[in-house]
Every structure is written in C-alpha cells, then in structure tokens.
Structure 1
C-alpha cells in the first residue's frame, strides 16, 4: 500500500478564524494536550467507551474527523486512581479501520501522572463516517527499565463521525511532469483535504507535487496552508493541508471560512 505521512514539527498552534490568526494558549481538552492548548471551540466528539484490563481503564476520550482524516485521543489510567511512574508508556499501539489507514502516534503522561494519553493522527483510504475504529495496545511499560507495569492486551473501539464540509470539484492541474484531476474538497476543523486521481498514466504512484492552497475568511483574510501528508485513498490520493508554511499546526474555525483557493483558482464551498 503506497502511503506517506510527514511529521508535524511545529510546536505553536495557530487558529484561523474570527478577526485574526492567533497563537493558542487556552487548554480546552485532550486534543489540546498535544498542541499547547486551543482557543476556538470546534466540535470534537466525546466518547464513553471504557474497558478495564489488569486494573487499567482504557477510554476513547475524543475524536474529530474530517472526510478521510481524523485525530483520535485515548487514555489509560489505573482503576485505583494512583499515579504512574515517570517514563511509563504504552507499547505496541495499533489502529484498525475498514479499508485501512496510515497514522502517526504521540503519547504522554498527564501533568498529574494519573493518565497516559495517546493521540492517533490518521489518513484513511475511505470516508470515516459511520466506520468502526479499533485501538489496540500491548502493555504499559517503563521506558527506563523495560518493566511491564500492567499486562494487556488492551482494546477499545468507537464509531467515527465526519465533521467536514464536503464540496465536489472538477479541476485539472498540470505541474512539472504530473497531471491530476481533483474531485473533492473536505473542509473541517483539522484542516483541508483535497482528493483526486492521477491522469498521467502513473496512478500507482503518489504525486510528488502539491498545489498552493489558501483559505479565504469572511473578514477577508487570505491565509496560505501547507501539506502535512499525502496518502492513498480508494479513488486515488489525498493531500491533507493542516500546517502553515513554516510547519505550525493549524485548526480551522469553519464558521469563518468563505472559500478556498487552489493555485489561485477560487473554490466556492457548498
């Protein structure tokens, strides 16, 4: 399976919306634990699925899905509510969804050391709406000694819901020696997904190029985004735009997004 994801390197979180692009500082949930806090209140799905194994409660905390991409946060805590030692981590983390997905994983101890939280940043082959997503883990271990602190395996699952604004387009792009036709745009709080297929006879390969994408807001800001991943989908490929040009993670306030521009061509959103 031909998939590629790039690491998000920025530590500053930017929010596009309201009157300015601002550096975030307010903590509003588990997703923000990984991005330094967020200031807008975009819709995140919260989940109540809890399983208990070896005295450990595993819970799907939050998710936010847009088309074929998603951020998912799960937590692990002791049933007796005591703390984990420094260096505790989850081993053998995996995610399963129908038709498959590529993903990156980050994990960390909460400040009070009562939970280990894990975030999956995924690009799926097909739309996530109504799909069952399963998260698996092997054990809780000490990074320092290798000691098993709690034996698994652990498994939990939830049903994903697509929070994107989907717009069908018909746009052909030629760049260098590549030619693609773009068919769908997904705008969601976690960025912009642009899906299409190659029409240059090289459909088994992901495109090396990506267009310039800009967001036009209702207060007439124009803000350029950059790609965070290029991945295979069930119709061809998808570019995911969720960074600014210097690599900072961006979230979108959808109520303020008017249109987007792809290589200076305005795409009116449905």
Structure 2
C-alpha cells in the first residue's frame, strides 16, 4: 500500500484508522496515553506535528499490512496507539494547554478561557534564529486578544529586559489596539498580547502582525528581524443574544441591540437615538453576570468604542479595574440596569 504524506485523501484514511484503533483498545492501555501537565509542557516545547504525523502514518501502514494477513487481529500495540493518538491529542489538548500557558503566564492564573472559545492561529516566521508564533485569538463582539510569542530556536534566554520597540497589528479595516509585552520562562519566552477593538465584525478579517527587532534593557540591538505573519481572523464560539432595550439617561438616549458573551467579558452593542450619532456615550449602565447557582458578579466597563452601526461597551473589569475572566462561570443571565436577559 502506498500513501502520499501530503495527500488529503490519505490523511483522511489515517484519521479513520486512528478512530478504529482507539475504539479497540482496553482501558489499561488507554491510561498510558494520559499526560501530566509537566509531560505536556515538555512535549510541546520543540514539537513538529509534521514529523509526528509522518512517523505515525508509517507505523499505521505497517500495522495495516499485518491486519491484511490476519483480519481477526483486534489487539494493537501500545506504541501504535500512542503514535496515532499523539496526532489527535497533541493537535488539540496539548497545544491548547500551550496556548493557556501563554495567557496564564501573561495575565495570571485567573485567565480562565473556555476551550471552544479559543481560535488557534499558529502562524510563524523565523529570523536570526528567533521564531515569532502568532498563537491564537480570543474574542467577544468586536473586541478581543491576540497572543504572540517569541522564542530562540536554540532555547537560550533573551537578554534582560528584552522587548520589541515596534510590535504592530494591521487589519484591512480600522482597529484600535494596545499591546503589552512580558518575558517569562526564565527569559526564554517573550509574550506579546494585543487588546483590540475593531469597527467591523471580526470574523473573516485579514490581519497582520509585524515586529522589527528585539532590543535589550540597555536599548542596544539584540536580535535583528523583521518578523511578519499574516492570517485571517476566525473567532471561536461565543454566546450572542439580541436585545430590545432602550436607555434614557439625562441628555443621552440609546437603543441596545446585541449582547455577546465569552470568557473575556461582555460586549454590548447599540446606537444613540438622541441625534448624536457621531459621539460615543458618556453613560455606562450597571451590568451584572448572574450564574446558574444564583451568584452575581458585577462587571465594569473597560472601553467604549465605535462600530459600523453605533458603539460597543466592553465589560471585563472588577471594582479595582482588574481584568475578569469568565471561563469558569456558568452564566445564566445578564442584568443591564436591572433589566435581566436570559441567555439561551
């Protein structure tokens, strides 16, 4: 049997074989597949999915030849199972853990993000022995975070205080953003996080992240770039609900049309109905998240931004202006100035 490594049809056959393999192993063998957090971290530092895929495909093909000789054989070697499962597990669970590592390293352990809300990108560019990896995006409404990391191919640390003077985000439509940078892993990893608000819907927007060079604390040049990764935004899952709510507060009147909910906060969209369409509202309503157990969490607005249809409030701060992550909250409803909307 001959299978081209770059053949989509061949790869689909292998994936079907993986499913068959996993369906015919006992629980004792299956336990061997589970990895500790330390093992996941070790495996995903310098991993090559292409190399794993090629090896696994070759091993599965060898097993296929044996199966043709004796079709009654249903017991698979643990090494075959592990090789096959590595493709599925490492491309989802382990890499997802790696994404979470970057977010938690940057924001702290409170950065809880629901698995199905993350949008993997994995766009890379290497210059002067340093790889820039645009890892993923997390979105709510027209806002979100983009996570990018820099690591040396030889695993060595960056100089103390290393940073990127020009780490920039460009989109085909207007976007406002701030970017933070932080050295982690004993200075072996430089993380950049873009916090952005876009005028248009994010889904399908073409984006580009560039960096010029990495400098040390002494502002001397440490690593010469440039790095350039282009990609298309594809937001993960978020809960979106229509609103039919009007607010009349003093001289400001507005109509709220949509609320979006994800692990990084709430985005409420609306438009002014007082004739001041070219102005952002000064007023922000009181917003509470109501969990399934009846507990309530007050959120404060972090930004008011312009959209193509009006404006958007982004609520993701606590009373001390700390970021609030909602990945661990089972949200049942949202209260806006006392008006409760049940989430479907």
Superposition TM-score, scaled by structure 2 size: 0.67
Pair 67,38 (structure 1): closer, same or farther in 2 beyond 3 Å: same
1:68 paired with 2:142, answer yes
2:272 matched residue in structure 1: 198
Separation in 1, partners of 2:328, 2:256: 22
- Normalized per residue, the structure richer in strand is 1
Match for residue 260 of structure 2 among 186, 192, 197: 186
Q: How far is the alpha carbon of 1:170 from its aligned partner? A: 1.6
1:32 paired with 2:99, answer no
2:114 matched residue in structure 1: 42
Q: How far is the alpha carbon of 1:28 from its aligned partner? A: 4.2
**Aligned-residue CA RMSD (Å):** 1.8
Contact 1:228 1:240 in 2 (8 A): yes
Contact 2:288 2:298 in 1 (8 A): yes
Match for residue 228 of structure 1 among 302, 305, 323: 302
Equivalence map 1:154-165=2 (5 Å): 154-162=227-235, 163-165=237-239
Pair 39,85 (structure 1): closer, same or farther in 2 beyond 3 Å: closer
Separation in 1, partners of 2:191, 2:273: 42
Separation in 2, partners of 1:127, 1:63: 14
Highest RCO, 1 vs 2 (Cα 8 Å, sep ≥ 6): 1
Separation in 1, partners of 2:312, 2:288: 17
Separation in 1, partners of 2:167, 2:336: 36
Decide which structure has the larger Cα Rg and report it: 2
Separation in 1, partners of 2:105, 2:111: 13
Pair 120,99 (structure 1): closer, same or farther in 2 beyond 3 Å: same
Separation in 2, partners of 1:205, 1:108: 35
Pair 237,254 (structure 1): closer, same or farther in 2 beyond 3 Å: farther
Mark the runs of 5 or more structure 1 residues left unpaired by the alignment: 1-26
Contact 2:289 2:299 in 1 (8 A): yes
Q: How far is the alpha carbon of 1:189 from its aligned partner? A: 0.7
Q: How far is the alpha carbon of 1:164 from its aligned partner? A: 1.6
1:207 matched residue in structure 2: 281
1:256 matched residue in structure 2: 330
Mark the runs of 5 or more structure 2 residues left unpaired by the alignment: 1-98
Q: How far is the alpha carbon of 1:246 from its aligned partner? A: 2.1
Count matched residues.
243
Q: How far is the alpha carbon of 1:91 from its aligned partner? A: 1.3
1:110 matched residue in structure 2: 184
Q: Classify the secondary structure of the residue corresponding to 2:107.
A: coil
Contact 2:113 2:263 in 1 (8 A): no
1:99 paired with 2:188, answer no
Q: Classify the secondary structure of the residue corresponding to 2:108.
A: coil
Match for residue 217 of structure 2 among 114, 137, 143: 143
2:162 matched residue in structure 1: 88
Pair 182,68 (structure 1): closer, same or farther in 2 beyond 3 Å: same
Q: How far is the alpha carbon of 1:62 from its aligned partner? A: 2.7
Q: Classify the secondary structure of the residue corresponding to 2:164.
A: strand
Contact 1:103 1:123 in 2 (8 A): yes
1:152 paired with 2:221, answer no
Superposition TM-score, scaled by structure 1 size: 0.85
Separation in 1, partners of 2:303, 2:230: 25
Pair 267,98 (structure 1): closer, same or farther in 2 beyond 3 Å: farther
